[in-house]
Amino acid sequence: METPSLELSLSPEVHAGQSAYTWWTLRVFYDVGVLGYSNRFVWKCPTPVQLDWYDTHVSANHLDVGVGTGYYTAYCRYPSPTPRLALMDLNANSLEYAASRAARYSPETYRRNVLDPIDFDAPRFDSIGLNNLLHCLPGSMDEKAVAFDHLRPLLNPGGCVFGATLLQGDVPRSAQARMLMRAYNRRGLFSNEQDTLESLERALRQRFKESQVTLHGCMALFRAQS
């Protein structure tokens, strides 16, 4: 396990996108407020739907990026009882909490900023998950999609990148979803005002041989293979 002791120089926008993941948020609010309520009633993509997406695409050699509370990596069905699991996040609180939740898999942990080139010298992965990460990264979809460029070298040939992200544009959004997204964007917790279905599909198409995006409410479930 790599200890998250590296001092990282962050822009205010990048810092804001991960600042909500405090000790209190992770342990008290996130699973109930986000996974329990918002996914089902606001974004219209219930957590079991996202977990099923994990079950379909996760490998026995998996890297999860932007780990949140580690719910999905702890409860998804790996194709092996002893998977290699690695966790990567900018937020040390999330890394610690997610690693403890999936402790039975002895996960590797890496503190990295995916908007910067990633220093990595361990074996590569067969799947990489980015669940609810992109809408927290600053910039337009074209700008934040550099994360795919930085993660692709960590993926084995034929490996799968998959995840979920919240979109705006023409996707269906309830009044509550529009209100909550405006509030989160003002606070810098989200940066998805320019994130559209077309821009996500284009970002994947430009970088991968095969890709798919499926909408559930205003949540896009995506997968791509090199």
Q: Is residue 33 part of a domain?
A: yes
For residue 47, tell me if it sits in a domain. yes
User: In whole angstroms, what is the distance from residue 187 CA to residue 223 CA?
Assistant: 29
Establish if 82 belongs to a structural domain. yes
- What is the layout of strands, in order, in the sheet containing 210-216? 108-111, 84-89, 61-65, 125-131, 155-166, 219-225, 210-216
**152 part of a folded domain:** yes
pLDDT of residue 29: 79
Q: Chain-centre distance of CA 8, in angstroms?
A: 20
Q: Compare 100 and 226 and report the one with higher pLDDT.
A: 100
CATH number for the domain including 158? 3.40.50.150
Strand partners, 223: 162, 212
State yes or no: pLDDT of 5 exceeds 50.
no
Q: Which two tokens stand for residue 33?
A: 């407020």
Domain limits for position 39: 24-113+123-225
Work out the mean pLDDT of the chain and round it to a whole number. Answer: 91
Q: What domain count does the chain have?
A: 1
Task: Quote the pLDDT of residue 10.
Answer: 46
Does a structural domain hold residue 173? Answer: yes
Query: Is the Cβ–Cβ distance between 162 and 222 less than 8 Å?
Result: yes
Strands 219-225 and 155-166: antiparallel
Q: How many helices (H) and strands (E) does the chain have?
A: 9, 7
Rounded to an integer, what distance in angstroms lies between the CA atom of residue 20 and that of residue 201? 28
What are the b/e assignments for 110-140, b being 16+ CB within 10 Å?
Answer: bbbbbbeebebeeeebbbbbbbbbbbbbbee
User: In terms of Cα–Cα distance, which of 132, 156, 74, 77 is closest to 107?
Assistant: 74
Is the confidence at residue 17, as pLDDT, over 50?
A: no
208 or 20, which is more confident? 208
pTM comes to 0.90
4: in domain:
no
For residue 88, give the DSSP letter: E
The per-residue pLDDT for range 141-193, each reduced to its tens digit, is 999 999 999 999 999 999 999 999 999 999 999 999 999 999 999 999 999 99
Res. 120: pLDDT tops 90: yes
Dist. CA 148–CA 146, nearest whole Å: 5
Strands 108-111 and 84-89: parallel
Position 145 in a domain = yes
